[in-house]
A = this chain, B = another copy of it.
């Protein structure tokens, strides 16, 4: 036995976190044993509080502290624009741009037959319902630009267009600050196809 049981337990729990291996878990454990007790307790409490107070927004399935998330409950956001993302953290990325003032819809993933994820596992029915009832004029597909995200965007577009709503897809292309020399051919191909007039 290398550690006293409470130490071993903390190492084990920390190593369950994604990207945290045995070594890092050990380092974090020894850190938490060393810091002032109130600092360790603050972390423990933050974990419990987050789980107790945070649930899913009833409208868009973002994380929310009340029934609706901060975007859905904000009257200054434009409800006629809906940005569809795979996961709540994607909302944070979109918000950081400062370019979007509409609402969101979190699918909870992307269609992926390999992982056994079909449309019925995602919030697809709820999206169609929103578009029908909430006077949505445009749905922006901001799923990840990978096979699964593209397939999901195409699948949803087919369902949404008959409802008379505009469906758009975020652009793929070279990252700002990127280098043509090092761009992969698929990305550069997309950048060419999606060229804009100057």
Please report A residues at the B interface, Cβ cutoff 8 Å. 1-7, 9-10, 12-14, 16-20, 24, 26-33, 37, 39-54, 63-65, 69-70, 87-89, 92, 95-96
Asked if A7 contacts B50 (CB within 8 A), the reply is yes
- Bound-complex Cα distance A34 to B51 (A): 9
Most buried by B among A13, A14, A50: A50
- Bound-complex Cα distance A27 to B27 (A): 19
Tell me, rounded to whole Å, the shortest Cβ–Cβ distance linking A73 to chain B. 11
Contacts of A65 in B (CB 8 A): 4-6
* Majority-rule SS of A interface residues: helix
10 tightest Cβ-Cβ pairs between the two chains A and B? A44-B44, A4-B65, A13-B46, A44-B47, A10-B46, A13-B43, A10-B50, A6-B53, A6-B50, A40-B51
Asked if B27 contacts A88 (CB within 8 A), the reply is no
Question: Which of B12, B19, B29, B69 contacts A24, CB < 8 Å?
Answer: B19
9 pairs, A vs B, C-beta closer than 8 Å: A4-B63, A6-B65, A7-B54, A7-B63, A18-B27, A26-B89, A27-B89, A30-B89, A33-B63
User: CB-nearest residue of chain B relative to A45?
Assistant: B44
User: CB-nearest residue of chain B relative to A18?
Assistant: B31
- Bound-complex Cα distance A52 to B38 (A): 11
- Bound-complex Cα distance A31 to B121 (A): 19
Asked if A44 contacts B33 (CB within 8 A), the reply is no
